[in-house]
Copies of this chain bind each other. A is one copy, B any other.
Amino acid sequence: MKVGNTHYRSVWPIGDDAVGVIDQTRLPHAFATRTLTTADDVLAAIKTMAVRGAPLIGVAGAYALALAMREDASDTNLTTAHQRLNAARPTAVNLRWALDRMSALLTPLSPAQRAHTAWLEAACIADEDVALNQSIGRNAAVLLQAMHADVKRPLQLLTHCNAGWLATVDFGTALSGIYQAHDAGVPLHVWVDETRPRNQGLLTAWELAAHGVPHTLIVDSAGGHLMQRGDVDLVLVGADRVSARGDVANKIGTYMKALAARDNGLPFFVAVPSPTIDWSLRDQMNVPIEERSVDEVSRLTGIAASGNITTVRVVDQSTTVANPAFDITPARLVTGIITERGIAAPPDLAALFPEFRPAG
């Protein structure tokens, strides 16, 4: 997508020994890029959420493993780097998926071949992500067009967190369809949850503004009321992990949006590329829910009257704080999952991906 007049992806190779990323901790107050030259650099960027979003951390993890192979291509380091990177963020499955794919490719190779092959494969995963998101967007845009034809006024969407191009390599998951529908002339407006504590809604608002999509920022508590008063036609979010039967792990607060959608008879859609689907989860949605630093709740950054970017402590240090970062929306609340192969209700998700059907 474009920032100003420059086309950006959210991660890009620099030569064959570094990757560039957008420092998402500084958005929307400042647009800054960073050059990461070691696996540890990437690891730190993922942990601090300078690089964030399930699909993007998958790709960043692949590049990190490639950088690790440049440092030390031994079997030991391949195993160690895989494990360390995989532990950076536990809830999204894309990181594990990308690392597993890289390791499966690299393990049979001689150490001398690994760094170069890894670099090409990471680029391949990045390009695939872009293609998957374009396909998701095409499928979602058809849905949005049909819904608009039905309501005969600007379509009102509500989204939570950021499932835009910043969360992927390009185009986004939930926002990909919004961009394509907007570009196709479907009039629409997006209610953007601010998404405490990290306020990824501000990233969504920033993306939508850059693309000219009408939107309004709201606090996370407002969505239910907007649905009650008839100002939302559908909820559309991304996800960090979707189980084989369609349970959805996504940013904390998603579950209550799904409850409000159901209570108001509104459809709740989740847009994900297939690497976000964890086919190993066939029954219970047994997913680790990351507990993040309480500082994310206690401190906030903005522009002070001086014009300086300033961090203030809003919550007293003596106050106990908990910060679970994700929740699970059960499949029974999900109207449809929008993938690169089409849209399926949760019970039909596996039919879109017959190659993952369990043997026997």
Contact = CB atoms under 8 A, between A and B. Distances in A.
Interface of A: 28, 191, 194-197, 199, 202, 205-206, 209, 214-226, 228, 251-253, 255-257, 259-260, 263, 289, 297, 299-305, 310-316, 318-324, 326-328
Contact of A218 (B194, B255, B322): B322
Cβ-closest 4 pairs across A and B: A221-B253, A302-B312, A225-B327, A302-B314
Given A217-B315, A304-B311, A324 B222 contact: yes
Contacts of A302: 299-300, 312-314
Nearest to A223: B256
A322 B215 CA distance: 10
A130 to B, nearest CB: 27
Question: What is the copy number of this chain in the assembly?
Answer: 2
B220 A321 contact: no
A256 B205 contact: no
Given A299-B302, A315-B202, A259 B252 contact: no
A221 B218 contact: no
Nearest to A214: B320
A198 to B, nearest CB: 10
Contacts of A326: 225
A321 B201 CA distance: 12
The interface centre, meaning the residue of A191, A222, A305 with most chain B CB atoms within 10 A of its CB, is A222
Contact of A256 (B196, B260, B314): B260
A303 B313 contact: yes
A303 B297 contact: no
Given A217-B297, A302-B299, A321-B216, A252 B222 contact: yes
A314 B309 CA distance: 10
B297 A305 contact: no
B225 A196 contact: no
A297 B299 CA distance: 15
B256 A318 contact: no
Given A219-B297, A220-B220, 12 more contacts: A194-B196, A205-B315, A209-B318, A218-B321, A218-B323, A218-B324, A223-B256, A299-B302, A300-B312, A300-B314, A304-B312, A305-B311
A211 to B, nearest CB: 14
A319 B217 contact: yes
Given A300-B300, A328-B228, A312 B315 contact: no
Contacts of A310: 304-305, 310, 312
A196 B224 contact: no
A312 B321 contact: no
Contacts of A221: 195-196, 220, 251-253, 256, 327
A328 B224 CA distance: 9
